[in-house]
Amino acid sequence: MKNALLFLWLLTSLHISAQNLALNKSVSSSSDESGVLTASNAVDGNLTTRWASAFSDPQWIRVDLGTATDISQVVLHWEGAYAIQYQIQVSNNGQSWTSVFSETNGNGGTDTISFSTVSARYVRVYGTQRATQYGYSLFEFEVYGPASPSDANLQNLYVNGTALSGFSSDDYSYTYALSPGVTTVPTVTATASNSNAQVSINPANSVPGTTTITVISEDGTTTQDYSISFQVSSYVLVWGDEFENDGSVYIAGEINDVDPAKWFHQTYPANGGNGWFNNEQQHYTDRTVNSYVSDGTLKIKAIKETYANPQTGSTQNYTSARLNSKYAFRYGRMDVRAKLPSEQGTWPAIWTLGQNITETGAYWQTQGYGTTGWPACGEIDIMEQDSNKSITSGAFHFPDAQGNHTYTTNHTSVTDTEGTWHEYSMIWTADGISLMVDGVEFHNTSGVDMSYFQNNHFILLNVAMGGALGGGIDPNFSTAIMEIDYVRVYEEQTQSSPGFDVLPSLQVYPNPTNSLATISSKSTMSSLSIYAISGQKLLHQTPNTNEVLLTLDLPEGIYIVEAIVSGHKLHKKLVIE
């Protein structure tokens, strides 16, 4: 699945395969953006490290193979800062260069470039036009020789059209954890290192299940099998908003207010009452024109208009909305499926802040939780988009050892963010946080002080105007919309069978049931709730006992029972037939 978390294990190398000739070889570059984004990262065989150049044209990176070697292919794994125009050049003395390939309309991702076999000691990528305001950035720069007729290795492996992150031709077995709720078998495609080799794919019958890929070499002497074991997710939905018609809060065919039980409109200007931080140029309102639900999605709409904040009287020339979730959590997975505005000057964001932040007008501050200033409360930017609408950024904000604000950030290429749905995700554990777009990680907490990310966080959805990331606003700007299909928060549970969690301290029986159900635990339940799979709370009690008999007048379907027992939040799935 495109939106999935990958867990990869190297098993056993059965034979010598197509060799990356550049792996761990001597490498140099025209420039390095920083002391950690050096050229050596592009030949270390690790797709999570990268080289990045200075922010100018032209730039280059070259690898020394050590001796003249027959080569016929280069593979480039671009980061979000890719090249529109570049050349692959070769040399035997490192001084005079011959071009073997030219690209004039690059689009990033992974470029596999084949050319007539040449003998060369040095190979370089020479970039002449950047796609972004940043430099050039490569996760990996690979060089290969001519394919052998007996070569039975894969060169690339794709799941639902997306390259399998971390794939290596010498790794023959993978375990792939599907996203929460996904039960369909993903489509697998593959290409062989030798284009004349035969590739056959035997898909899994269901999930969990295993898809096998068999490669037979061109000369028929070698056969190699690869496999992907698809596993169901270990996460269970605990909160969310599908923004779908439910007959009460959201009515089909109408313009609906955002659900006030789940969302709070933060409207008080946090920067001393005059505006917002980072030189933003909007006021946030709780008006339906700036945030509403219709046709199954949430719309956050920025509008060009002169507006005086009713709480402070200060005036701005743009309005928008900033939503705080009335739900806070620590650890788990969060998915938001969204389309982003394309108008210049918009700054859409999906992010979280510590529930304990002291910020006048924020929801949890109004509930008495404000004890800690920013950035010590912690900030997780799952998705931010600046003036470059072809990339998405993520960041972690926290104090350094001296108590000053510091952060880590990274970005990735995301195409057609206005016309295509993309899923922006976070997986958060006690040990680290991973940020993803469409299931592929682009930033994590390596180098981050995790002590600032052990508290509950709440979710923020907003569209700012201008400011540090929005940049210059188009003088012809009138309106822009960030559209959100769903917001989902999951907690990880232990599983013994596909889709069902095992919670020994919480029992639900009979299960399935028609209407009557007994909920029991070995200890007192201080809270008991029933949720629809969409995240809508349907029932809530405070039983203060260890057993409850419920009569449920609910339609057929799957529901989630949530109980708080001895301070622990437990979940069990309930099926009503």
Q: Does residue 291 sit in the same domain as residue 438?
A: yes
DSSP class per residue in 5-57: EEE-------S-----TTTT-EEEES--SSSSS-GGGGGSS-TT--EE--SSS
Rounded CA-CA distance 10/173 in Å is 7
What does the alpha-carbon distance between residue 421 and residue 437 come to, in Å, rounded to a whole number? 11
Query: For residue 460, what are the CA distances in angstroms to 263, 322, 354, 464?
Result: 9, 7, 11, 12
Give a yes or no: residue 497 inside a domain: no
Q: Residue 572 belongs to a domain with what CATH number? A: 2.60.40.3080
Task: Say what the pLDDT of residue 166 is.
Answer: 63
What's the average model confidence in pLDDT over 398-415? Answer: 90
Structure tokens at 363: 């929801």
Pair 148, 58 in one domain: yes
- Over 50: is that where the pLDDT of 15 sits? no
Q: What confidence category does residue 165 fall into, taking pLDDT thresholds of 50, 70 and 90?
A: low
537 has pLDDT over 80:
no
The active-site residue, picked from 379, 441, 483, 491, is: 379
Domain with residue 483: its CATH number is 2.60.120.200
Residues 168 and 258 in one domain: no
Considering the domain architecture, whether residues 255 and 373 belong to the same structural domain is answered as: yes
Residue 63 has pLDDT above 70, yes or no: yes
Residue 110 lies in a domain: yes
pTM: 0.62
Q: Check which CATH number belongs to the domain holding 35 and give it.
A: 2.60.120.260
> Are residues 477 and 344 in contact, defined by beta-carbon separation less than 8 angstroms?
yes
**Residue 289, class by beta-carbon neighbours within 10 Å (0-12 exposed, 13-18 middle, 19+ buried)?**
middle
- Give the pairing of strands 322-329 and 263-265: antiparallel
Are residues 270 and 158 located together in one domain of the fold?
no
In a domain, 498, yes or no: no
pLDDT tens string 205-262: 998 899 999 999 999 999 999 999 888 888 888 899 999 987 789 998 999 999 999 9
Catalytic residue among 384, 423, 441, 491: 384
Residue 502, both tokens: 């095992």
CA distance 83 to 105: 8
If asked whether residues 256 and 125 sit together in one domain, one would say no
Q: Are residues 453 and 564 in the same domain?
A: no
- Same domain? For 196 and 269 the reply is no
pLDDT in tens, 77-93: 998 889 999 999 999 99
- Per-residue confidence at 529, pLDDT binned at 50, 70, 90? confident
Are 182 and 259 part of one and the same domain? no
Domain boundary residue among 231, 249, 278?
A: 231
Is the confidence at residue 504, as pLDDT, over 50? no
What's the number of domains the chain is made of?
3
3-state SS class at 453: helix
Judge whether 305 and 453 are in contact, CB under 8 Å. Answer: no
For the segment 462-483, what is each residue's pLDDT rounded down to a tens digit?
A: 999 999 899 999 999 999 999 9
| pLDDT band at residue 5 under the 50/70/90 scheme | very low
User: Is the confidence at residue 558, as pLDDT, over 90?
Assistant: no
Could you tell me how far CA 29 lies from the centroid of its own chain?
30
Domain boundary residue among 453, 472, 492? Answer: 492
Predicted confidence at residue 42, as pLDDT, reads 95
In a domain, 142, yes or no: yes
**Above 50 in pLDDT, residue 69?**
yes
Asked whether the predicted pLDDT for residue 18 surpasses 60, the reply is no
Residue 309 sits in the same domain as residue 385 = yes
Active site residue 379: yes
Do residue 227 and residue 344 come from a single domain?
Answer: no
Q: When comparing pLDDT for 294 and 563, which is higher?
A: 294
- Which residue, of 469, 492, 515, is where some domain finishes? 492
pLDDT, tens only, 90-115: 999 999 999 999 999 998 888 989 89
79 in active site: no
Residue 16 has what pLDDT? 32
Q: Residue 453 sits in which domain range?
A: 237-492
